[in-house]
Amino acid sequence: MFAKKFRWYILLSLTLIGLLSFKIGDNYFEIAKNLELYASVFREINTYYVDGIDAGKLNKKAIDEMLKTLDPYTNFISEAEAEDFRYQMTGQYGGVGSQIGQKDDYVVITDPYEGYPAYKADLRAGDIILNVDGKDIKGKSTSDVSKLLKGQAGTALKLVIKRNGQELQKTIVREEIKVKNVPYFGLINPETGYIKLTGFTQDAGKEVRDALVSLKKQGIKQVILDLRGNPGGLLNEAVNIVNVFVPQGQQVVFTRGKVSEWDKSYETTIGATDPVIPIAVLVNRGSASASEIVSGTIQDLDRGIVIGQRSFGKGLVQSTRPLAYNTQIKITTAKYYTPSGRCIQALDYSHRNEDGSVGSVADSLKKEFKTKNGRKVFDGGGIDPDIKVELKPYSQITQSLLAKQLIFDFATQYRNSHDSIVEPKLFSLSNADFEAFKKMAESKDLDYSTQTEKSLEELKKKAEQEKYFDAIKASYESMKTQLKRDKQADLDKNKLEIISLLEEEIVKRYYFQKGRIEASFAHDLEITEALNILQNPVRYQEILNPPINPKK
């Protein structure tokens, strides 16, 4: 039976290849040969391998490994993965409406969405999930628990959670969850609006348009569009978002691929909500794909300024094609280009190194393009901001606090002992609260080494190798002791950095995503830079309209 199916499969494949040979050309024989080889290998393994095989799993692995040689965005989507793929495209799923995370042997609630079932059932960040519908979830992964929490809207599930040492039972009715593309918009000050865009699923353009309309009614004179950490999504929604700020009939992006019939130019289709309001677009290394279409087009048209760090550099377009047995393939079919003609793809997947690694486009190969006003922009490496903001990395003690989840744990304790706090923009942690945090942190093994300590240990190793360590041992021990004393003071040295993270995490426990965003305004370097420029119209215009022949 197995052999007959494969013979039929090979005949069908050969027939299709024959019909399409005018497209494939001389390569069709190689494809036919390799299909037959693959079927032969599969048949032999199924017949003679010492243990039984899972044919579906083996085939999925083979397909996945084949696609890995192309690019990370060309993926096979099995029938079982269809629901997750639908969520990526639409932002919709049936569930309880909360993010979850791993903590030791259990999964915890990390971010319930305001207004959804988890919120209605008073699930809180920090709640430890012990049981889902009678199933003990100790040792389960977040993926395992996520599957248990998701389900058809209207169905109920029972949870047993642990909060502040007590077990609580919760009955939750699942709903259709629609994760908003714009989780927050509001006023930073009376004249400046802020729109946070986290995705490009269906209706992203409408959400941005509605946000701007609401902010304009509140009297704003300028707006910040935050695309930091936004990985992209639907291309047409990127066009719709540009259309909020750019008039009808303007090219936003065009695509070019192997199948020339699919090449397409995308233009704005309706009137702009506001074609003149000053805009600052925030980007970082996590801004990719559709985020780069929006920021790149705004930059190319000199419609606004781009602030932050160089974006990710994904200039590849994917199309989804249906396959047999309710499966699909998401395949890279084209590259996209912003209005100036540049493609911002950073990695060249078509020319891999011998070890399989992928190199970036060399600076010497990057081409120069011009914006509408004649400013220089370049392809081959993401969107380079008009104003770069260098971010200082977190100190090593802060990194350790985050890795050990101590900031998360302190916020959980704080929420359990405080019923309410003031509004996000006014909340600040007291010195007594910080001392309480220090006491908690000092009781834990933070397990980190400063660069100085690492250098000292390297010095010790070299001294031992060269037989000099005995001569410097006393000095070594003295420096090691002194560094240990300094390490104990690291919490105070990095107080402002740590407090800002604590305040955001605590505020989120009461005011959810909206509150965390508002709490971040005061110490957000990119927002501060955007405000400095937007509130200085002369500087804003100088960035967008540089002198034609600048003096050297």
Shared domain for 350 and 248, answered yes or no, is yes
CA distance 77 to 46: 24
pLDDT at 549: 61
Question: Mean pLDDT across the stretch 175-201?
Answer: 96
Q: What pTM does this model have?
A: 0.85
Residues 69 and 131 in one domain: no
Please tell me which residue, 527 or 7, carries the higher pLDDT value.
527
Q: Does the residue 439 lie in any domain?
A: yes
HSE toward the beta carbon, residue 153, CA cutoff 13 A? 9
Whether residue 3 has pLDDT greater than 60? no
432 and 378 part of one domain = no
More confident residue, 36 or 21: 36
287 falls in which pLDDT band (50, 70, 90)?
very high
Residues 327 and 67 sit within 8 Å (Cβ to Cβ): no
| pLDDT band at residue 551 under the 50/70/90 scheme | low
Last residue of a domain, one of 388, 416, 433: 388
pLDDT classification of 497: cutoffs 50, 70, 90: very high
Annotate 32-88 with DSSP letters as a single string.
HHHHHHHHHHHHHHHHH-SS---HHHHHHHHHHHHHHTT-TT-EEE-GGGHHHHHHH
> Which of 178, 209, 241 is the C-terminal boundary of a domain?
178
Judgement on whether residues 238 and 344 belong to the same structural domain of the protein: yes
CATH of the domain at 144: 2.30.42.10
Asked whether residue 85 is assigned to any structural domain, the reply reads no
439, β-bridge pairs: none
Asked if residue 383 and residue 234 are part of one domain, the reply reads: yes
Q: Flag whether 21 is in a domain.
A: yes
pLDDT at 235 over 60: yes
Q: What is the pLDDT of residues 435-446, one digit of tens each?
A: 999 999 887 877
Query: Is the per-residue pLDDT at 249 higher than 50?
Result: yes
251 and 400 belong to one structural domain: no
The C-alpha atoms of residue 71 and residue 19 are separated, in whole angstroms, by 28
How many domains would you assign to the chain? 4
- Residues 297 and 341 sit within 8 Å (Cβ to Cβ): no
Greater pLDDT, 327 or 281: 281
User: Is the pLDDT score of 2 beyond 70?
Assistant: no
pLDDT for res 20: 47
The answer to whether position 192 is within a domain reads yes
Q: What is the pLDDT of residue 451?
A: 73
Q: What pLDDT was estimated at residue 435? A: 94
Question: Annotated catalytic, 300?
Answer: yes
Whether 542 maps to a domain, the answer reads: no
Q: In the listed set 360, 388, 416, which residue is the last one of a domain according to the structure? A: 388
Confidence class for position 61, pLDDT limits 50, 70, 90: very high
CA distance 370 to 367: 10
> Which residue is catalytic, options 127, 300, 379, 524?
300
Domain of residue 457, residue span: 396-532
pLDDT above 90 (res 90): no
* pLDDT value of residue 185: 97
Q: Which CATH number covers residue 208?
A: 3.90.226.10
Check whether residue 365 and residue 220 sit in a common domain: yes
Claim to verify: residue 265 and residue 381 sit in the same structural domain: yes
User: pLDDT tens digits for 131-163?
Assistant: 999 999 999 999 999 999 999 999 999 999 999
For the beta carbon of residue 521, count every other beta carbon within 10 angstroms.
16
pLDDT digit string (tens) for 22-52?
444 557 788 888 889 988 998 999 899 999 8
Q: Are residues 376 and 400 in the same domain?
A: no
Catalytic residue among 98, 289, 291, 295: 289
Instruction: Catalytic residue, from 78, 146, 226, 314: name it.
Output: 314
In a domain, 375, yes or no: yes
Q: Is residue 547 part of a domain?
A: no
pLDDT reading at 8 higher than 50: no
Q: Decide if 551 is inside a domain.
A: no
Residues 311 and 204 in one domain: yes
- Whether residues 97 and 67 share a domain: the answer is no
Both 149 and 57 in one domain: the answer is: no
Residue % of the chain over a pLDDT of 70: 92
Q: Which H or E element spans position 525?
A: helix 525-534
How crowded is the C-beta side of 17, counted as CA atoms within 13 Å?
18
CB 523 within 8 A of CB 429: no
pLDDT band per the 50, 70, 90 thresholds, residue 16: very low
pLDDT band at 257 (very low <50, low <70, confident <90, very high): very high
